[in-house]
Amino acid sequence: MNIKFKNVNFTLFSSYFIWFISVLCLLFQFLLQFSSGMMTNQLMDTFHLTAARAGFLAGSYYHIYVLLQTPAGFLTDRLGPKNLLSYGCIICCIGCLTFASAKSFLLAEVGRIMMGGGLSFAFVGMVFVTATVLPANVFSLMMGVAETFAIFGTLICELYLAVYLETIGWRTFIAISGLVALFLSLLSWYFLPGNKQQDNSEEVARQKLSLNEVFSQLGDLFLNPVAWANGIYAGFMFAILTTFHGLWAQPFLVEAYHLSEVTSAHYTSLMLLGALFGFPISGWIGGIIYETRYLLSASSLLNAILLFSVLSFTTMSHTVLAGILILIGFFTGPYILCYSIAHNIVPAGSKSTSIGFTNTLAVVTAPMMQPLVGYLLDVISGPKHHTVLDFQLALGVIPLCLLVGSILACFLPTAKKSVRT
């Protein structure tokens, strides 16, 4: 089977190879994003930082990434993934080397911002490549597979990176990351399809829009209630991994289920294990059923019930707890269909912009909901030791958001892609 483009033909094998290169960029982005928390103590010692300043330094990567998601989509629509991923990885490489050699907090901050800014094109670029290089009927499935690779990389990061950082130090790790970014830049430049290789037909790719048309479509997107509902739903579902799994699950399990720090970390990772299966299966199901809104609504509702059970019934056996945590991760998978919906609700020429907008709403939940739960804990219990009830009341905001997400999903269009757009 050949995938035809203007001036170039891709065999099915080479199409998947090109897609895999874009997925490698996404994997690298996840690695640098999730490694920041593991370097916090070393960064505090190196730059003599308070906890607040260390958190700001580590989080600056994430903040710039969120801010650039919608612009990344707009630029990908106009310039294509080859230029943006290759140049973006070069910027990331410079940022890594700057960060690794920094002697002051300010220079380290500049390097961290360049790292996040350079890789802000990774996700949108991967989605663009998936939509334009692979057959249309596998779009949802391969989005799920790509997310699975990213989650698997995160799981490996959690299990092994901390020891690796202790052995070689954060500066060496970041310097090696810079070399990896350079390698990914070369791969993207030589193998990803360029701007001139994109077909001008609406079936395959994007239209060349004037700036007035671009801003007009951006305005339509911002005023589109479906786009907002779709992005907010994705954010509420993704909060399970960023807010509950990423920050508060471990201290809650220690307090409520009397697990050790190490054991609670292993139990928390079970949600990622469930997500490893949930993403590709959800992508596959989303490609064969039409009314995907029911799948989205049911998964959000089930996760609300499961998470409420974990928070409330703290006398359950640890075996049952492990099974529920796996199911929570599994039922997070359908959120990946939100990117198919984002791809379908806008005309050619602004599809990556729509995906970037959706991803902005999805990832912004972390810097919003993580401190919200912390704030609620402080309001409920003050500076004293947090009890099980304190955690239950504060973390209860997540299942409430999931219930709202279940309602929002009822108003979303299908994620099924019957034709290439």
Specify the pTM.
Answer: 0.79
pLDDT of residue 206: 45
How far apart CA 239 and CA 369 sit, in angstroms, is 8
In the chain (421 residues long), the average pLDDT of successive 10-residue segments reads 47 86 91 74 81 70 82 82 93 95 91 92 90 84 87 76 80 94 95 62 46 72 92 93 84 92 85 91 89 95 97 95 96 93 83 86 81 84 81 94 96 71 38
Alpha helices in 157-248 (DSSP H): 162-168, 170-191, 211-222, 225-239
Residue 375's pLDDT is: 83
* Contact partners, residue 253, CB within 8 Å, separation at least 6: 259, 264, 267, 268
Q: Which of 66, 183, 205, 180 is nearest to 129 (CA)?
A: 205
> 345 — phi, psi (to 5°)?
-90, 0
Which pLDDT score, from 0 to 100, does residue 221 have?
84
- pLDDT at position 157 is 73
pLDDT at position 200, please?
41
